[in-house]
Structures are given as C-alpha cells and as structure tokens.
Amino acid sequence: MVPEEFRKRLFDWPDAPVPVAFDGALFDDLPSLLKNASFKPRSLFLEQTDREIQRTSPQFIMAPHDRLELLLSLPDITTGGVFWNAPGVEEMAFYRHLRSLTMVRLPVPEKEQKPGDPKTEMCVFRHFDPATVAITMPVMTPAQRARVMGPAKSFLLHSPEGAMEAKRRVEWPDAEKGTLTFNSVQMKIITKNLNKRRHYRPVLRFLRDCGPISIQNETDVWLLELIDAAESRRVEWGLKTQSGLSCLSLLSYITHGKIYTNSQLKNKISENTKYSDKKIKKYTIELINLLETNGDY
C-alpha cells in the first residue's frame, strides 16, 4: 500500500516524466515486473548475460506522468525504489548521472590497512535502495548532497522511517567533483544508524503484531521514535534483551508514556537485573490479559 504522504508529494511534482531507480534485489524479478506493465527498464549496472544477475540488478525507468498510478499499483514499488523530480532533464542524461553514483570510495579500516596500500577502496553505493539513501543522505556534506542530487530538484523515497522528500537547497555549494568519498567519521555514523535500524525493526514488528488495534494507525516513523525513547531508558529499567525493549516500548504506548513515571514499578523490575527482562515480560502479559478481559485492548 502506498502511503498517502508519498502519493501526495509525488503528484505535487510538475507534469513531467519521473526518473525512478529500483533495487532489483528487493524484488523477485523486477525486469519482468516492469516489462509486463509496459515500462522499459534499463540496468544501472553494465549489461549482463547471466540471468540471475539481470534479475537482481538495479533498474532505471523514465515513468510518464500519466502512468504513475499504474506504476504505484505494482507490488512493493515504493519501498524498492527512489523517485526523482527532474523536469526537463533528458532520459539518458539522468541515466548517466545515476550511473556515475554507483561506485563510491570508502575508508579502509585501520586494522586492515597495510603500508603502501591505498587508504580507500571502491564500493557499490546502493543509491537505488530507499533504506540506504535515508541513512546516508543526512551524514553527507552539502557538496556531497549536491553531487547526489545532480540535475534534479528533489527525490522521494519510502524508507523504514516513512516517506521522505529531499530537496535541493539554494545555499548548497557546487557539487563535489568526481567519485563520492565518505570519511571514517561519516562511516561510523552510518554504521551506528544501520545497527540501530536492525535492532529496532524486530521491536517494530512486535508492536504491530502484539499491540492494540489502535497501533495500526501509527506511522513507522512515530513508532520508531517511541522505541528510541524506550531504548534511552532501557538501562535504568535493568533491561538487557530485545524482548525487554519490546515490552517497555509496548507499555509506553499502552500507558501513553506514563510507565516512565511509575517509579515503584521501575524499582521492582530493575531490583535484580538478572531477572528484569523476565519480570517486565510477565507484567506486560498480565496487563494485556487484564485489558482484554475488560474489552480495552
């Protein structure tokens, strides 16, 4: 299902073809999916004869504005691609721009560096994967952002954090020349955010599966902020496991945050940290059972 915010932003763009880059690895057979809908995909990697590589390689299309609804009707299409607002830009010119972003330079970890060897290495940049772009764009310098944006005015994506549109800023300097290069500080932040996302995604699934019906009305962005707030309090509650974080997050939602002011309960659960996770799980189950009995869950 396409988020309403994503749809609104996309159709606020000028009446012009929309370039889209898709991550083929997120689909069963992306080229066939697009061709069967009468789009003309072009691989963002060098042409391959291996069928499996063709099937999973990133793809580029120029979607006519009057066929956007058809495109949005395809399964998982918004979570598997980055949509670009580039009115007036010729198709092959934008294709070449995206191809120029495919490889970036990353620092070689110090412990792997050898005397005389390069301190950076070339790696694939998954600029066609919404989740990757959502994590890397915020840590880029303005010149790097200008380099990614190229001739476009903005791009739109649907990441685990929700719908996001990044727009070109007038105060940005000239684009960084040549291959994008990330420094070690940027990579530490990116790695930290990737680890946090991996840590939070199972908690988010737990909230969706075990929370009250009303939780389905909340956006992923809002729930991830709720989980982040629970993570910042996890240690003081004596919690060590993902299960404990999940329970604390759910209790926060059920009580509208009042759980954090219940010092008596916090002291009881954190009294012996060896059993804190088991105690909060037991309390959560008992509370849910009570609420279900009263018809409040």
pTM metric for this prediction: 0.76
What confidence score (pLDDT) does residue 221 get? Answer: 72
What confidence score (pLDDT) does residue 193 get? Answer: 84
Which of 69, 94, 83 shows the shortest CA–CA distance to 23?
A: 83
What confidence score (pLDDT) does residue 224 get? Answer: 84
Report pLDDT digits (tens) over 199-250: 888 999 999 999 999 998 887 778 888 999 999 999 999 999 999 999 999 9
95, pLDDT greater than 80: yes
Helix, coil or strand: residue 88: coil
What confidence score (pLDDT) does residue 74 get? Answer: 96
Q: Distance between CA atoms of 141 and 138, rounded to whole angstroms? A: 8
Q: Distance between CA atoms of 17 and 87, rounded to whole angstroms? A: 7
Average pLDDT over residues 85-92: 97
Q: Under a CB-based contact definition with an 8 Å cutoff, are residues 245 and 259 in contact?
A: no
What is the torsion angle, in degrees rounded to the nearest 10, for the CA atoms of residue 239, residue 245, residue 246 and residue 247?
40
100, pLDDT greater than 80: yes
> What average pLDDT is seen over the chain?
92
Buried b (16+ CB within 10 A) or exposed e, 137-161: bebbeeebbbbbbbebeebbbbbbb
Both tokens of 33, joined, read: 């999916």
The pair phi, psi for residue 141, each rounded to 5°, is: -75, 160
27, pLDDT greater than 90: yes
What confidence score (pLDDT) does residue 2 get? Answer: 87
Question: How many other β-carbons are positioned within 10 Å of the β-carbon of residue 93?
Answer: 12
What confidence score (pLDDT) does residue 279 get? Answer: 96
Longest dimension (CA), the chain: 71
Average pLDDT over residues 243-272: 95
Q: Distance between CA atoms of 117 and 6, rounded to whole angstroms? A: 45
49, pLDDT greater than 70: no
What confidence score (pLDDT) does residue 264 get? Answer: 95
What confidence score (pLDDT) does residue 54 get? Answer: 76
Q: Distance between CA atoms of 141 and 182, rounded to whole angstroms? A: 10
111 half-sphere exposure, CB direction, 13 A CA radius: 0
Which of 69, 82, 72 shows the shortest CA–CA distance to 163?
A: 82
Average pLDDT over residues 276-297: 92
Report pLDDT digits (tens) over 162-177: 788 999 999 999 998 8
7, pLDDT greater than 70: yes
Q: Under a CB-based contact definition with an 8 Å cutoff, are residues 151 and 93 in contact?
A: yes
Q: Under a CB-based contact definition with an 8 Å cutoff, are residues 253 and 226 in contact?
A: yes
What confidence score (pLDDT) does residue 295 get? Answer: 83
47, pLDDT greater than 80: no
Average pLDDT over residues 124-137: 93
> Do strands 18-22 and 59-63 pair parallel, antiparallel, or not at all (unpaired)?
antiparallel
Both tokens of 222, joined, read: 């809002």
Q: Under a CB-based contact definition with an 8 Å cutoff, are residues 212 and 138 in contact?
A: no
What confidence score (pLDDT) does residue 48 get? Answer: 62
